[in-house]
Amino acid sequence: MFRLRLPRALATVAAVVAVHAATPTLFAQTNTARRGDSALPRAYGDLNFAVSQPIGAFGDFIGTGYGLTGGFVWNFDRDRVFGIRAEGGFVQYGSETIGGCLVSCRVPVDVTTSNDIAFAGIGPQISVPAGLFRPYINATAGVSYFFTHSSINDSDNYDTGQFDATNHDDAVFALTGGGGVLIPLSMRRTPVLLDLGATFHRNGEATYLRRGSIRDLPDGSIVISPIRSEANFVTYRIGISIGVPAR
């Protein structure tokens, strides 16, 4: 029970901190931004290392995942407070490697099976545009794609791209809500900021595989046993946000 409550608590704390930090300082820092808006970028792009933590029923079947996320924010107003964010990401929550044969066992190979989630979405973002700590909150609507694929790896003699097969996949409508804080590292012509945040991914039910969901039979065929459950998770991320220089 503690394991399931911890990610929810962390995500809630991150969102509450972002909102409370943004509210009392928003108007004051907006005035600062207005006075020097020519120095504030209208757009930011970010790239982050991400850790995914399954919650609810999803956590009964899989463990922690690791991957990358990225996004692009375009601010509509001159104060750089209200914008739209497009984002995407990829995490791998499991993999296994077994020995196999190519044509015959005179040519042994390693076959790696990976369990992955790709996701993308677009939606609004509200940010504090100035200061030492710059909180933001956002939400998106989009899609999450759960897929498992097997491929030949560690072979110098074959084009491994020719030996890659998707064993199972499922795409579902997804909603996200998250927040974080930007910490300026350099605010010269091209601003660079540290990005710390968390996002809750609401996927509803999905079908997916995990380690052991594919069973190899003696005749070379396979049996696939998909799991269907709620597939919600939280991503925690750390990365870099780079501003597009203002004219």
Tell me the CA distances in angstroms from 184 to 23, 92, 129, 191, 207, one per residue in order. Answer: 20, 30, 11, 8, 41
pLDDT at 152: 84
| pLDDT, average across residues 128-152 | 94
- The CA distance from 241 to 47, in Å, is 7
Give the domain 2-92+119-141+171-244 fold.
Porin (2.40.160)
| pLDDT, average across residues 24-50 | 66
Q: Say how far residue 179 (Cα) sits from the centre of its chain.
A: 13
Q: Please report, for the chain, the start and end positions of each structural domain, with discontinuous segments joined by +.
A: 2-92+119-141+171-244
Task: Determine the 3-state secondary structure of 190 from DSSP.
Answer: coil
pTM beyond cutoff 0.95: no
pLDDT per residue over 156-197, tens digit each? 555 555 678 899 999 999 999 999 999 999 888 889 999 999
pLDDT per residue over 64-83, tens digit each? 999 999 999 999 988 889 99
pLDDT per residue over 89-133, tens digit each? 999 999 998 887 776 677 778 889 999 999 999 999 999 988 899
- The CA distance from 10 to 77, in Å, is 31
HSE, CB side, 13 Å, CA atoms: give it for residue 7.
23
Instruction: Give 179: exposed, middle or buried? Use CB within 10 Å, 0-12, 13-18, 19+.
Output: buried
What is the DSSP secondary structure assignment for residue 158, as one 8-state letter? Answer: S
Query: In 3D, which of 243, 230, 127, 121 has the Cα closest to residue 177?
Result: 121
Task: Determine the 3-state secondary structure of 30 from DSSP.
Answer: helix
Tallying the residues shown for the chain, one arrives at 247
Mode of pairing for the β-strands spanning 104-127 and 134-153 = antiparallel
